[in-house]
Amino acid sequence: VSHIAEEYYIAIDLGATKTRIALCDKNGIIEKTVYYTPRQGNEYTIAESIHSKIVSMWGNKVDKIKALGIATIGPLDIKEGRVVRPANVPIRSFELLKPLVKTLKKPVYVVNDCVAAAWGEKYYGDAVNYENFIYLTLSTGVGAGVVVDGNLLIGKMGNAHEVGHIVVDFTSDLQCGCGGRGHWEVFAGGANVNKVLRYLVEKNSLNAYSELKEKVLSGEQIDARKLFEYYRNGDPLAKKAVDIYIEATAAGIASIINVYDPELITIGGSVFLNNVDILYEPIVSRVKTNTITQPPIIKPTRLGDDVGLYGALAIAVHTPRKIAEIQGKMISRIIGEA
Ligand SMILES: [Zn+2]
């Protein structure tokens, strides 16, 4: 890296499948690396993988690192800076804040990935000039980070981002991964595509021939990527499932607009970003019919796949007051002991 900065920051976007790590200065990303998140090991394996990646890539700069930000999958125990029983990683729970502060002797702030992404929009994305905005992710799951009157919402347990569990159809018997029924995420989470398709086939709500229906009946697992492929090829079952996706997402977005009154909503997440041409216009036009406040600007995030990294960077450089309150004391204590 030829870039010379006085102070560096490390941004980490910890996903269920991949971990992205970037060397940054306060203005943005300088260099980044991506690797597969460890799927086996103990509660320290993931923190150790992050530590060894940082040391091997940027070992000569560790002294000049000012702070680290981690945007992680949840659920988060925000006080301890650890992840507890994540849905899609086989390691039952793992520590992030404590082992990394101990080995690097730097502040490490750990925040849910959607919450961090919203903060990233404020400093590096489209929300620079806004005090009221929402970052929404439409990916394997559905989640959001919310800023109201300039404050990043955290909640009593750090779970103020779980908008995917808003009930969009209380008469539905489709069960969400969380156990609830009719949640936004059951209709629009990439992980639930197969469930929705099976439901539609079992309800026998389709008369026309559908190749996708044959696949579902044969027991093939259909993911979001395949669903949208079938949609693009004109498959009628795919059309039904995508229509449901759009209706549920419009209902969910209308609900968060009515609750938080944002000026701006940016949308990221692989399912949305890969299918903006199919999803954007119908979702935005349906949202308006269910909102009581003036509708906000809605647009795809321009930070793309890096929105989590920018979020983590924003958390490290411009640490939200509430996060500094919750995690700052423990960080000082561990650095003091080291
Ligand atoms: Zn749910």
- Tell me, what DSSP letter sits at residue 181? B
Q: Does the pTM exceed 0.85?
A: yes
Average pLDDT over residues 302-307: 96
What's the CA-to-centroid distance between 141 and ligand 1, angstroms? Answer: 10
At 171, which amino acid appears?
T
Tell me the pLDDT band of 1, cut-offs 50, 70 and 90.
low
Looking up tokens 């800023």 gives 147
Tell me the pLDDT band of 8, cut-offs 50, 70 and 90.
very high
Q: Give CA angle at 228 (226, 231), nearest 5°.
A: 115
pLDDT tens digits, one per residue of 85-138: 887 778 889 999 999 999 999 999 999 999 999 999 999 999 999 999 999 999
What's the CA-to-centroid distance between 140 and ligand 1, angstroms? Answer: 13
Positive or negative, the Cα torsion across 177, 179, 95, 123? Answer: positive
Percentage of the chain modeled with pLDDT above 90: 87
Q: Which of 156-165, 181-190, 308-317 has the lowest mean pLDDT?
A: 156-165
Q: Give the residue with greater pLDDT, 293 vs 205.
A: 293
What's the CA-to-centroid distance between 142 and ligand 1, angstroms? Answer: 10
What's the CA-to-centroid distance between 54 and ligand 1, angstroms? Answer: 35
Distances (CA, A) of 310 to 71, 118, 134, 195, 211: 9, 9, 15, 33, 41
pLDDT at 208: 87
Percentage of the chain modeled with pLDDT above 70: 99
What's the CA-to-centroid distance between 317 and ligand 1, angstroms? Answer: 33
What's the CA-to-centroid distance between 78 and ligand 1, angstroms? Answer: 20
Contacts of 40 (CB under 8 A, 6+ apart): 90, 91
Q: 135 pairs with which residues across the strands?
A: 145, 266
pLDDT at 272: 98
pLDDT at 3: 66
Tell me the pLDDT band of 55, cut-offs 50, 70 and 90.
very high
pLDDT at 2: 58
